[in-house]
Amino acid sequence: MHDRHIAPVELAKANRLLNHGPTVLVSARHAGVDDVMAAAWACALDFMPPKLSVVLDKASRTRALLEGSGRFVIQVPTVALLQQTHQVGSHGLAEQPDKLARAGVELFDLEGHDLPFVAGCSAWLACRLLPEPHNQQTYDLFIGEVIGAWADTRAFRDGHWLFEQADPAWRSLHYIAGGRFYAIGEALDV
Amino acid sequence: MHDRHIAPVELAKANRLLNHGPTVLVSARHAGVDDVMAAAWACALDFMPPKLSVVLDKASRTRALLEGSGRFVIQVPTVALLQQTHQVGSHGLAEQPDKLARAGVELFDLEGHDLPFVAGCSAWLACRLLPEPHNQQTYDLFIGEVIGAWADTRAFRDGHWLFEQADPAWRSLHYIAGGRFYAIGEALDV
């Protein structure tokens, strides 16, 4: 259903998928369990090889899964996924075992990666955890190397976001607090 | 000129100034030298005490200054500062000693902080460097504790951004690459 619009993004341009600071969905799989959470505190960290950082609360199951498998996905949800993003950010798998179904999260596979990718996002970054125990314990800060990147060509193509021409439902979400998000806005060129 | 609009932000809400992932200006002062640079890779890291992370290239003078003084400011530039933000992000103080004047950067003081605050921004976070030599060397990643926060009440008041009612010139900037930024957009409430 989604595949014909999903195209690889060259790793040298993967940072462009996160540079504008969107709220992301973090997903991971370990020992047969999948989880997805929302994270406002994710950030690009390096160009090549591309790296990123993300802050993951100790209480989150997604964190335990990625600590177990050493792999995770950072993906960019859209305005169309507003409710879903807020729901997976507000409930944990411990408290709500059917959390993903309740939130309407649909997962799909990408060949060569045993990871749960969230359907409907505009971009996906498959990551390998670079273990940094001090950062993880002290700051809840996780660093990943991006080993695969893809985007939906209706939102990002040839290295560029298409927000100004795409349907507004493709815009990225930028969380503030208490159920308030902003969509990304107008393009500005220097 | 700016002071009557600048109000303190309680530290427990300081993360709201960065949660939506704006491109920031980083400024620092040491031994009589001030510098300002742009950084797309800045991110909130903790609630209370508030912390943040920012990636600073080894070539930047701002980095050397904050390593010297242990203090820096992360501030949120606006659409009105688009050219200035791009200019201080494209030139170094070594190459262009009059960089700040050329870019039209105006600095001001806030009592109790010996730091250069950039006028015209919508929010300011005064930070104390939390030295993490491994992160700084390996990832160019710097962690700061926020010790003071302020906002221009025309853009952020009572703990909330006012983008939907303020002049669009107050919107935050979100850098992608190659001179392309997006402004923050429409408010969305879950």
Averaged in consecutive runs of 10 residues, what is the pLDDT profile of chain B (190 residues)? 85 98 98 97 98 96 98 98 96 92 97 97 98 98 98 98 97 97 97
For B84, the enclosing helix (H) or strand (E) is helix B82-90
Q: Which one of B18, B43, B164, B172 makes the best mutation probe of the A interface by having the most chain A beta carbons within 10 Å?
A: B43
pLDDT of B126 reads: 98
Does the pLDDT value for residue A1 go beyond 80? no
* Rounded mean pLDDT, A5-20: 98
Q: Does domain A3-183 have CATH number 3.20.20.70?
A: no
Task: Name residue A182's beta-bridge partners.
Answer: A174, B187
Which DSSP state fits A100?
H
Q: Kindly report which listed range (A83-87, A119-123, B89-93) carries the lowest average pLDDT score.
A: B89-93
Number of Cβ atoms within 10 Å of the Cβ of A32: 5
Which DSSP state fits A70?
S
Does the pLDDT value for residue A24 go beyond 90? yes
Predicted confidence band of residue A2 (pLDDT cuts 50, 70, 90): low
Please state the domain extents for chain A.
3-183
Set of chain A residues whose Cβ sits within 8 Å of the Cβ of B175: 19-20
Q: Which one of A48, A174, A189 makes the best mutation probe of the B interface by having the most chain B beta carbons within 10 Å?
A: A174
CA angle (B188 as vertex; B184, B190 as ends), nearest 5? 145
Does residue A130 belong to the interface with chain B, where contact is any CB pair within 8 Å? no
Cα–Cα distance for residue pair A186/B17, rounded to 1 Å? 20
Residue-level length of chain B: 190
State the smallest CA–CA distance between residue A13 and chain B in angstroms. Answer: 9
Q: Please, which residues have CB within 8 angstroms of residue B153's CB and are 6 or more apart in sequence?
A: B5, B6, B7
Of A23, A139, A187, the CB nearest to B143: A139
Q: Is the alpha carbon torsion for A20, B128, B30, B111 positive or negative?
A: positive
| Chain A 96-115, residues with CB within 8 Å of chain B CB atoms | none
ipTM of the complex: 0.96
pLDDT in tens, A36-51: 999 999 999 999 999 9
Set of chain A residues whose Cβ sits within 8 Å of the Cβ of B79: 188
Q: Which residue is listed with tokens 């992160």?
A: B135
Whether residue B77 contacts residue B87, with contact meaning beta carbons closer than 8 Å, is answered with no
Q: Check CB contact under 8 Å for A177 and B134.
A: no
pLDDT of B166 reads: 97
The gap from C-alpha B91 to its chain's centroid, in whole angstroms, comes to 17
Q: Check CB contact under 8 Å for A82 and B188.
A: yes
Q: Check CB contact under 8 Å for B176 and A41.
A: no
> Does the bond joining B116 to the residue before it have cis omega, within 30 degrees of 0?
no
